[in-house]
């Protein structure tokens, strides 16, 4: 791995965490369902909400997904350079993420992604030794298939809408005023709209990996093609890929038009993933420019501590917004939430830069590395 490639990947990972925080602040402030049912907002908050929905939400998590697939291949290559087989290391990595995800979602917040990423690693094992071309083909097939399957999925009946409104009222009350145990009990026992049927939940768990798979596979293929190693030679591809930015923004904007609501999910999901790829290409295209290089070290430092910083975002935001903390749930507004997010992320940049001057890895990264390599030193045996 070359320095340029590692630097760019870490920088993009840090940048994606900024977008993930901006999107998650809607959930921290208004709840998983409440964020999509906001009413009577000020003009400023309406504009901020539209900006987050179109430019950020649903497109920065896919960036992280691409980078996860990319890093998975590099992890395997690193392990195989030191020993012949990587099977058990990958299985331990997956179970480690699953365990962290379960603890994260049970103890702190229902918006966890680590559990899904751990499960995805198990799903991706058959693809690890495939050629880049094969991975690109599978990524394209699954992208078309999963996007098409979302047709009409945003339409809700009056009964479902009533159930959602009731759930939001309950969630708003408990998150704004409840103690830690009351919020814990609500997450564990509240009847989530649309999730009453156990068989439906089982089907979702079985087929969910398919919806995550395209960008994981895309990232794995990029790693096998040694993308971002000699960035100056790949500029034409970055420039071409950057065209997906306006295409993705247009698709996501069209998804909010009520007259074509049947296609809203297709436009939203497809547009979100295309926009994510476009963001990566655009970032690569402008990466070596002076303004970006001034900011890159801050993003890079956050990216190197991505697991620790992701969990810190949850700890900070739940403490600030939930009833057992400062109780600011729903009080900052959408625009105020954006400003708050910028402050939190800026502090994370300062913390990460200072931390990495003394330590090589973050605390949670170290724990996961020890478990993955089955070694107290964290080194591959």
339-364 pLDDT, tens per residue?
Answer: 999 999 999 999 999 999 999 999 99
pLDDT, mean over the chain: 90
Measured between alpha carbons, how far is 309 from 300 in angstroms, rounded to an integer?
12
- In this prediction, residue 158 has a pLDDT band, given cuts at 50, 70 and 90, of confident
Q: Are 35 and 49 in contact (CB under 8 A)?
A: no
Query: For 355, what's the count of Cα atoms within 13 Å in the CB-facing half-sphere?
Result: 20
Interval 278-298 mean pLDDT: 95
Q: What percent of the chain has pLDDT over 90?
A: 72
pLDDT top residue among 315 and 37: 315
Q: Is the pLDDT of residue 27 over 60?
A: yes
Predicted TM-score (pTM) of this structure: 0.92
Per mean pLDDT, which range of 39-48, 116-125, 198-207 is the poorest?
198-207
Measured between alpha carbons, how far is 282 from 237 in angstroms, rounded to an integer?
10
Name the nearest CA neighbour of 356 among 306, 322, 321.
306
- In this prediction, residue 1 has a pLDDT band, given cuts at 50, 70 and 90, of very low
* Residue 92: other Cβ atoms inside 10 A: 16
Please give the pLDDT value at position 6. Answer: 65
- In this prediction, residue 207 has a pLDDT band, given cuts at 50, 70 and 90, of low
Q: Is the pLDDT of residue 160 over 70?
A: yes
Please give the pLDDT value at position 83. Answer: 75
Per mean pLDDT, which range of 84-93, 211-220, 335-344 is the poorest?
84-93
Three-state SS string over the chain comes to CCHHHHHHHHHHHHHHHHHHHHHHHHHHHHCCCHHHCCCCCCHHHHHHHHHHHHHHCCCHHHHHHHHHHHHHHHHHHHHHHHCCCCHHHHHHHHHHHHHHHHHHHHHCCCCCCHHHHHHHHHHHHHHCCCCHHHHHHHHHHHHHHHHHHCCCCCCCCHHHHHHHHHHHHHHHHHHHHCCHHHHHHHHHHCCCCCCCCHHHHHHHHHHHHHHHHHHHHHHHHHHHCCCCCCHHHHHHHHHHHCCHHHHHHHHHHHCCCHHHHHHHHHHHHHHHHHHHHHHHHHHHHHCCCHHHHHHHHHHHHHHHCHHHHHHHHHHHHHHHHCCCCCCCCCCCHHHHHHHHHHHHHHHHHHHHHHHCCCCCCCHHHHHHHHHHHCCCCCCCC
Measured between alpha carbons, how far is 276 from 214 in angstroms, rounded to an integer?
12
pLDDT digits (tens, 9 = 90+) for 251-262: 999 998 877 777
Interval 29-34 mean pLDDT: 93
Interval 100-119 mean pLDDT: 92
Name the nearest CA neighbour of 120 among 36, 78, 62.
62
Please give the pLDDT value at position 10. Answer: 94
Name the nearest CA neighbour of 20 among 306, 329, 256, 283.
306
Burial 342-371 (b: 16+ CB within 10 A, else e): eebbeebbebbeebbeeeebbebbebbbbb
Please give the pLDDT value at position 86. Answer: 77
Please give the pLDDT value at position 209. Answer: 66
Q: Is the pLDDT of residue 188 over 90?
A: no
């Amino acid at each position: 791995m070359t320095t340029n490639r590692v630097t760019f990947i870490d920088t993009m990972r840090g940048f994606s965490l900024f977008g993930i925080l901006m999107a998650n602040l809607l959930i921290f402030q208004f709840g998983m369902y409440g964020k999509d049912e906001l009413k009577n907002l000020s003009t400023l908050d309406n504009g901020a909400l539209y900006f987050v929905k179109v430019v950020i939400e649903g497109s920065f998590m896919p960036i992280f997904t691409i980078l996860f697939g990319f890093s998975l291949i590099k992890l395997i290559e690193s392990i195989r350079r030191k020993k012949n087989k990587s099977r058990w290391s990958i299985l331990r990595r997956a179970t480690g993420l699953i365990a962290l995800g379960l603890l994260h979602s049970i103890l702190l917040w229902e918006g966890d992604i680590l559990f899904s990423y751990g499960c995805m690693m198990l799903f991706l094992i058959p693809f690890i030794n495939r050629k880049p071309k094969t991975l690109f083909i599978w990524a394209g097939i699954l992208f078309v298939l999963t996007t098409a399957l979302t047709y009409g999925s945003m339409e809700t009946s009056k009964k479902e809408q009533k159930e959602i409104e009731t759930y939001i009222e309950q969630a708003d009350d408990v998150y704004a005023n409840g103690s830690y145990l009351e919020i814990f009990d609500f997450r564990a026992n509240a009847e989530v709209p649309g999730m009453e049927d156990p068989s439906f939940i089982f089907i979702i768990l079985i087929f969910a990996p398919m919806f995550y798979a395209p960008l994981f596979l895309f990232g794995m293929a990029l790693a096998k093609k040694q993308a971002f190693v000699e960035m100056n030679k790949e500029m034409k591809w970055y420039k071409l890929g950057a065209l997906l930015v306006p295409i993705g923004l247009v698709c996501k904007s069209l998804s909010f038009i009520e007259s074509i609501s049947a296609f809203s999910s297709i436009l939203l999901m497809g547009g979100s993933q295309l926009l994510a790829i476009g963001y990566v290409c655009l970032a690569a295209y402008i990466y070596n420019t002076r303004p970006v290089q001034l900011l890159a070290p801050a993003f890079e430092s956050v990216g190197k501590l991505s697991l620790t910083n992701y969990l810190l975002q949850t700890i900070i935001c739940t403490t600030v917004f939930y009833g057992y903390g400062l109780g600011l749930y729903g009080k900052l507004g959408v625009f105020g939430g954006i400003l708050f997010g910028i402050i939190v992320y800026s502090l994370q940049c300062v913390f990460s830069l200072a931390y990495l001057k003394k330590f090589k890895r973050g605390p949670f990264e170290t724990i996961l590395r020890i478990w993955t390599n089955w070694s107290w030193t964290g080194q591959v045996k």
